[in-house]
Amino acid sequence: MPGSLVQQGAVVICAHAGQATPSVPNPRVTVGGQATVTLSGPWTVAGCPFPPNSGGPCATAMWSVGTVRVTSQGQPLVISSGVATCVPTGVPLTVTAVQPRVSAT
């Protein structure tokens, strides 16, 4: 499933609207002057309003599905159509704004 490559400055949110940011950008491949992100690094979620008494707010997330054909240093890259899961809530991340020029499968 093709999707736009996700760069470090992309807007990514959890299902509760917390802001997700990559903790390990990939400066080897840049898009629009910003580093891309590989699947292997965790993401930090900040500002998740999910109540602590309901299992806690989203704290981190990991991508499990990304590029298949395009890699950087042998690692798949994060794409807008990929799949990520937040911990401890189990909700997905959603890419809401990403660079439009480069897509991959």
| Domains of the chain, start order | 3-99 (2.60.200.60)
Asked if 46 and 5 touch (Cβ cutoff 8 Å), the reply is: no
CA distance 60 to 46: 9
Mean pLDDT of 92-96: 98
| Strands 71-72 and 93-97, bridge-based pairing | unpaired
CA distance 57 to 54: 8
Q: Which residue has the tokens 């990929």?
A: 82
pLDDT tens track for 40-83: 999 999 999 988 777 789 999 999 999 999 999 999 999 999 99
pLDDT tens track for 20-31: 999 999 999 999
